A = this chain, B = another copy of it.
Amino acid sequence: MTSRVREILSWYGADSAGTLTNLARLLDHGRLAGTGKLVILPVDQGFEHGPARSFAPNPPAYNPHYHFRLAIEAGCNAYAAPLGFLEAGARDFAGEIPLILKTNDNDVLREEKDPNQALTASVQDALRLGCCAVGFTIYPGSAHQLEMYGQLRAYAEEAKRNGLAVVIWSYPRGSGLSKDGESAIDVVGYAVQIAAQLGAHIIKVKLPTAHVEQEAARKVYDDRRIPVATPAERVRHVVDCAFAGRRVVIFSGGAAIFDDDKLLDEIRAIHAGGGFGSIIGRNSFQRPKEEALRMLGAVMDIYASPPASAAGMR
């Protein structure tokens, strides 16, 4: 085990050896094993956006086995999906790649200005499927946020008691925020903090913009001259908001881009800012597999290179 992985595990002193073991499995698998960086393949879009929108751009992706194979062949650290997708391949690919069970989900058949998520799987499901972690989405800013926090609390407690890790998708959304606010630097930093305070081991957020949403926050960003002009600066600030880098924060690839230069620039910014990696869904599985493997390889090349500066610096 590398000293970097050991260092990361040392941040989780309240967790059992079992949970540390599963964190180690995530950090020590695939092409980035041991670097302290993670690239995870998430495929919850079939539930979240609908199958045609998700899979028609690359029809083999309708098949759940496709995603297991993509994650394995690309050397991802883990594959994350809802119950159905994991059940459809867990036996066939047992032991080949760490799994993260998304335990709540929502769809877009209704547009809600205050979105919520349904509990769609249990911690016990994660154990029987051989997962290393449970995933849970919260929407800070939604009128339903407190309900989601409370559900997460119970899931996290049960997961930790059984030696699993907890991955939180923290997506600001809802009537408390403007559309721009969902990716505002202050709001994303806040979303990371909330997830960390709720006991997350790994936190997934979107790459933030330089927009500042909340008046009370803007004053601080201005007064303290918090540098948030470049993507790398914003990543560094978000990592700071995750307990000064003592919690693992990874960034989503966001909307499908199809401009790999732009995508790789984002990865470089995440890497430069001390981010711990990426969770790349649509940009992976909505293109032909060979292309996806090439792109994920390029992403991992960046994360495998020496970082410009160290994270967890405070």
Contact = CB atoms under 8 A, between A and B. Distances in A.
Contacts of A62: 240-241, 243-244, 314
Contacts of A131: 18
A129 B88 contact: no
Contact of A116 (B20, B90, B127, B146): B146
A250 interface: no
A13 B55 CA distance: 23
Contacts of A226: 52, 56
How many copies, total?
5
A230 interface: no
Interface in A77-97: 82-92, 94-96
A231 interface: no
18 contacts: A13-B90, A15-B87, A17-B94, A18-B131, A24-B95, A24-B96, A50-B193, A51-B189, A51-B192, A56-B226, A60-B314, A63-B244, A83-B198, A85-B197, A108-B214, A109-B176, A117-B146, A121-B199
Interface in A89-121: 89-92, 94-96, 105-111, 116-121
Interface of A: 1, 5, 9, 11-25, 27-28, 46-47, 49-53, 55-57, 59-60, 62-64, 66, 82-92, 94-96, 105-111, 116-122, 124-125, 127-131, 140-143, 145-150, 153, 157, 161-163, 172, 174-177, 186-187, 189-190, 192-194, 196-200, 214, 216-217, 220-221, 224, 226, 237, 240-241, 243-244, 246-247, 314
A121 B28 CA distance: 28
Given A118-B146, A118-B147, A194-B107, A52 B217 contact: yes
Contacts of A125: 157
A52 B163 CA distance: 32
> Which 7 pairs between the two chains have the least Cβ-Cβ distance?
A24-B95, A21-B130, A13-B91, A110-B176, A17-B90, A118-B149, A84-B197
Name which of A15, A52, A116, A177 has the most chain B CB atoms within 10 A of its CB.
Answer: A52
Given A52-B189, A107-B190, A130-B163, 16 more contacts: A9-B94, A17-B90, A20-B94, A27-B95, A51-B190, A52-B221, A52-B224, A62-B243, A83-B198, A85-B243, A105-B149, A107-B140, A108-B214, A109-B145, A118-B145, A127-B163
